[in-house]
Structure 1
Amino acid sequence: MSLLLASAHRLKAAARGIGTAAAWLVVLLILTVVLDVITRRFVVLGSTKLQDLEWHFHAALFLFSLGYAYVEGEHVRIDVLHTRFGPKTAAAIELVGALIFLVPFCLIVLYYGYTFVERSFMLDEGSASQTGLPHRWIIKSTLLGGFFMLLVAALGALCESLAILLGAPPPESRHGEHEEVGL
Structure 2
Amino acid sequence: MLNGIVWFFQNILMAFYNFGFAVTHPQMWLDWSDQASLMRFIYYGGSIEFFFVVFTGFLVLTAFGMWKNQFMWGCVRVLEGISNGVGRFFAWAGLLMVLQQIIIVFVQRIFTQAQITFGFGPALALDISWWAEELKFYNALVVALCASYTFVQGGHVRVDLVYSAVSFRAKRAIDMFGSIFFMMPVAVLVWMYAWFFLWRHLVTPKVSATDTIELLSRKAKILKWNVETIGFSPNGFNGYFLFKILIVAFTGMVFLQAIAFFYRSYLERKEGPESDGKYLDRDSLGAGEEAYEGTH
TM-score scaled by structure 2?
Answer: 0.55
Post-superposition CA distance 1:111-149 (Å, at most 9, x none): 211111112222422212221223321232111112222
Farther-moved stretch of structure 1 (12-21 vs 68-77) = 68-77
Instruction: Verify: 1:41 aligned to 2:109, yes or no.
Output: yes
- Aligned-residue offset at 1:32: 1.4
Alignment-derived partner of residue 8 in structure 1: 76
Structure 1 unaligned spans of 5+: 176-183
Structure 2 CA distance for aligned equivalents of residues 109 and 83 of structure 1: 30
Which runs of no fewer than 5 residues in structure 2 stay unpaired?
1-68, 115-127, 204-225, 285-296
- What whole-Å deviation, never above 9, does each CA across 1:131-182 have from its counterpart, x for those lacking one? 122332123211111222222111100111122233353234679xxxxxxx
SS at match of 2:232: coil
**CA distance in 1 between partners of 2:71 and 2:265 (Å):** 13
**Alpha-carbon separation, structure 1, partners of 2:166 and 2:249:** 33
Q: Secondary structure at the match of 2:111?
A: coil
1:109 is matched with which residue? 190
Distance in 2, Cα, partners of 1:85 & 1:132: 53
Give the one of 150, 173, 176 matched to 1:92: 173
- The yes-or-no answer on 1:124 pairing with 2:239 is no
Higher CA-based Rg: 2
- Corresponding letter in the other structure for 2:171: A
Compare the two structures and name the one with the higher strand fraction.
Answer: 2
Equivalence for 1:77: 158
TM-score normalised over the length of structure 1: 0.85
2:88 paired residue number: 20
**SS of the residue aligned with 1:54?**
helix
Percent identical residues? 19
Q: What does residue 170 of structure 1 align with?
A: 276
- Measured in 2, the distance between the counterparts of 1:63 and 1:132 equals 22
The CA deviation at 1:45 is 3.9
2:252 aligned with 1:148: yes
In 2, are the aligned partners of 1:121 and 1:135 still within 8 Å (CA)? no
Dislocated runs of 4+, deviation >6 Å: none
Q: For the aligned residues, what is the CA RMSD?
A: 2.1
Which letter maps to 1:170? D
| Partners of 1:116 and 1:43 in 2: CA distance | 41
After TM superposition, give the deviation of residue 80 of structure 1 in Å.
6.5
Q: Is the 1:66–1:147 contact (alpha carbons within 8 Å) kept by the matching residues of 2?
A: no
SS in 1 for 2:154: coil
Cα distance in 1 for partners of 2:194, 2:256 equals 17
